[in-house]
Amino acid sequence: MIIKSLNTLGLYGGASLNSIELALINTDGVDIQEFIKSRIVPYPEALALDIRALIRKRGWTFQDLENNTEVQRVRENISAFYAEIINEFAEQEKIEQIGIDGLTIFNDPEHRCSYQIEDGHVVCKMLSQMIITHFHKADLLSGGQASPLTPAFFNVIGQNLHKPALFIDLDAVSSLIYLGETGELIAFDCAPGLAMIEDWTFRHANMQTDYNGRLAITGKVHSQVVESLLHHKILRKAPPKSLDILCFSEKKEHLEGLSLEDGTATATNFIAEAIYQAALDFLPAIPQNIYLAGEGLKNPSLVRFIKQNFAPREVKSILDINENLNAVGAQATAFNSVRRLYGLPITFPTTTGAYEPMTGGEIYEEK
């Protein structure tokens, strides 16, 4: 097979419960030649409400998800919406390859189950173009945790940085990606992320999120609540590990009784504390070179709490490396789709716990 660079579109449906990332890059799956274009698109309000309703329902099994008519209705609607926005995005661009990493509504790696709510067949048919999706499945079958799926991408982004270096990916859940001095690549989901803040603000104020961190700025952090949340068993579990989008939902009663602002500040501070504690507990060392990435960069309160925890180390933005790295979930999805096309690994024993380096992604083509 001849490996060549392709104009590749990535769609990432899980940056938060509210928005989708799209990004077009030129890559051969080894290096990234160009970041061409990116866009953040909100989910339509009705679709976002449907998604939240499904996520909040606990106790799913894979068979439930496959057979439930409401799940399948939402799945078809999301797939059609993905195809629609890809078509709009692609109107003036040359696209040779498409990768989709949809929103995960259920994640249970212990039982080899992780469910992304999009239908590759539907999207492929509507676009009349091959797509690659469901990047997690091969990893699960090889003993992995199914996430994070971004380390190969961050490894390329950080290839010219002084090592060791650390990326903190602030997504619906938070992940650490550690690049060692001798080529080590360590990654794991480490803490809740934006989904926890969004769940709180939506339930208590019908707000999609804490826009620009404004609620947390005016709220008071309740340290005893933070300390209680930090005892959650998933935080003490050693990597590899992946987190469900609402893995802390059973602990939300700790926040109940707080004002909207205090609850937001406390949840935001807890996320930052959990990230720092994971770095202390599970990394070989905390590097001097630390970069924040992902949708969480848009929350100044979360960024401020993280910087306070990691002081005196300087915590920078990934945009300081390249100003075009403003949609890393979609950019990583595009990168992974080309690696799948060429049979290159996207997960590793030290990132997901897979038995061996694994490529991943299901290819859908029109019959």
DSSP structure string for 46-70: HHHHHHHHHHH-----HHHHHH-HH
Question: Tokens 């030290």, residue?
Answer: 350
Band (pLDDT 50/70/90 cuts) for residue 310 is very high
Mean pLDDT along residues 325-332: 97
Give residue-wise pLDDT tens across range 66-104. Answer: 788 888 999 999 999 999 999 999 888 889 999 999 988
What whole-number percentage of the chain has pLDDT above 90? 79
pLDDT for residue 126: 94
Give me the CATH code for the 6-148+325-364 domain, please.
Answer: 3.30.420.40
What is the model's pLDDT at position 109?
80
Mean pLDDT of the chain: 93
AA letter at 107: N
Average pLDDT over residues 319-348: 97
Q: Are 279 and 166 in contact (CB under 8 A)?
A: yes
Could you tell me the pLDDT band of residue 105, with boundaries at 50, 70 and 90?
A: confident
Site of tokens 């947390």:
216
**Res. 21: pLDDT tops 90:** yes
CA distances from 69 to 64, 73, 216 (A): 9, 6, 39
Buried b / exposed e across 102-123, counting CB within 10 Å, b at 16+? bbbbbbbbeeebbbbbbbbebb
* Among the ranges given (217-221, 243-247, 264-268, 308-312), the one the predictor scored with the smallest mean pLDDT: 243-247
Q: Is the pLDDT of residue 111 over 80?
A: no
Measured CA to CA, the distance from residue 28 to residue 342 in angstroms comes to: 9
pLDDT of residue 60: 66
Length of the chain equals 367
pLDDT at 268 over 80: yes
- Residue 250: the pLDDT is 67
Res 338: pLDDT: 98
Residue at token pair 């709220």: 219
pLDDT value, residue 311: 97
359 or 55: which carries more pLDDT confidence?
359
- Residue 67 pLDDT: 80
Q: Where in the chain is the domain with CATH 3.30.420.40?
A: 6-148+325-364, 159-320
pLDDT, tens digit, for every residue of 185-214? 999 999 999 999 998 999 999 998 999 999
* Domain boundaries 159-320, corresponding CATH code: 3.30.420.40
Query: How far, in Å, are 144, 152, 344, 351 from residue 357 at the CA level?
Result: 10, 11, 9, 9
Residue 365 has pLDDT above 70, yes or no: yes
